[in-house]
Amino acid sequence: MAAVQGAVNQAGGPALKLEARGLHKHFIKRGQPLEVLRDINFGIAPGEFVAVVGASGCGKTTLLRMADGLESISAGSLLIDGQERTDPGPDRGFVFQQDTLMPWRTVLKNIALGLELQGKPKRAGLEQARRFLEVVGLAGFEQHYPHELSGGMRQRANLARAFCIEPELLLMDEPFAALDAQTREIMQSELLRIWERTAGGTVLFITHQIDEAIFLADRIIVLTARPGRMKDIIDVPFARPRDLEVKRTAEFGALYDHIWKMIEEEVRVSMGMRSG
Ligand SMILES: Nc1ncnc2c1ncn2[C@@H]1O[C@H](COP(=O)(O)OP(=O)(O)OP(=O)(O)O)[C@@H](O)[C@H]1O
């Protein structure tokens, strides 16, 4: 396929960090094609935080894996900095639902792992890891092993590891889904704090939770039921820095209801039910 060039800004640099153009994806399942994503188009500016929501199975994780280079593209294109995306690279960080800490490494050495893989000298890598360990509030736990931490602490170490490599594009797939409701809320505000403190780059964040998407993101992409298509892109009107209190406001509740109705409609369509 011919290389596709993305839009450039006035300074000559790419105007968009991540851009999907007419993106399609299908898998072959038991010999039959399964269409998962159809005609996905969006552009994400450098430094923007964008969440993706949609019914279960609409292709959210697949979209993220395509951005990371873990999944092939069936048609259309996905550009990073104006260039067709390549295999996974050090410019991208990926955070999964389950932490991916190595049980035999201390917390500090887990956080430093990405830097080690990038070839950063050991001492400098550990120093940088220590800084990020402090940012996520784990000072004092450097020499602990993952099994000695709570689920929330492990996910904080996981975040520190992702932010530590200072990725220009951070891809997050329901990173707080395995946490209890209270820890999840705290982690949401921790994530914003870390992101703001470390100039955390561009984020594409997948979630099932509408309130999480509204609280975190600048914009929210709503996908239809499978095959996932663009249903809407919503601007989130809340100023930063954001406090969890914003979730209790009427404006937040109204936006939540609006997005929930869109997703409910899609789930009903996919189940062959009429809305109402
Ligand atoms: N490697 C694969 N081979 C075949 N089918 C796949 C593969 N990966 C995903 N699928 C199918 O693609 C569809 C979309 O999956 P995906 O995990 O992207 O959805 P999702 O929106 O993230 O779902 P959920 O919200 O439930 O996590 C599903 O029907 C899934 O079974």
Over the stretch 174-204, which tens digit does the pLDDT of each residue have? 988 888 888 888 889 888 988 887 776 899 9
What is the C-alpha separation between 19 and 6, in angstroms, rounded? 8
184 assigned to some structural domain: no
Q: Looking at the domain assignment, is residue 138 inside a domain?
A: yes
Looking at the 3D structure of the chain, how many domains does it have? Answer: 1
Cα dihedral 232, 237, 240, 242 sign: negative
Residue 264 domain-assigned (yes or no): no
Show the domain range for 119: 101-166
Q: Is residue 197 part of a domain?
A: no
Pocket of ligand 1 (CB under 6 A): 27, 29, 34, 36, 54, 56-62, 208
Examine residue 49 and state whether it is found in any structural domain, yes or no: no
Q: How far apart are CA 249 and CA 262, in angstroms?
A: 21
Question: What are the mean pLDDT values of the chain's consecutive 10-residue runs (276 residues total)?
Answer: 49 79 94 95 96 94 93 94 82 83 96 90 93 88 95 89 88 88 86 80 94 97 95 96 94 97 88 60
For ligand 1, pick from 62, 206, 222 the residue to mutate: most ligand atoms within 8 Å of CB.
62
45: in domain: no
Distance CA 180, CA 246 (A): 20
| The pLDDT of residue 159 | 87
pLDDT at residue number 11: 54
172 contacts 206 by C-beta, under 8 angstroms? yes
C-alpha 2 – ligand 1 centre gap (Å): 28
The pLDDT score that the predictor gives to residue 88 is 77
User: Side chain identity at 160, as an amino acid letter?
Assistant: A
Dihedral sign from CA coordinates of 213, 151, 159, 83 = negative
Residue 57 C-alpha to ligand 1 middle, in angstroms?
Answer: 5
- Burial of 86 (C-beta count, 10 Å sphere; 0-12/13-18/19+): exposed
Residue 237 lies in a domain: no
For the entire predicted model, the pTM comes to 0.89
Q: Which atom of ligand 1 is nearest to the CA of 54?
A: 21
What residues pair up with 71 in beta bridges, in sequence order? Answer: none
Let me know if 2 is exposed, middle or buried by CB neighbors in 10 A (0-12, 13-18, 19+).
exposed
Whether the ipTM is more than 0.95: the answer is yes
Q: Which two tokens stand for residue 49?
A: 């935080």
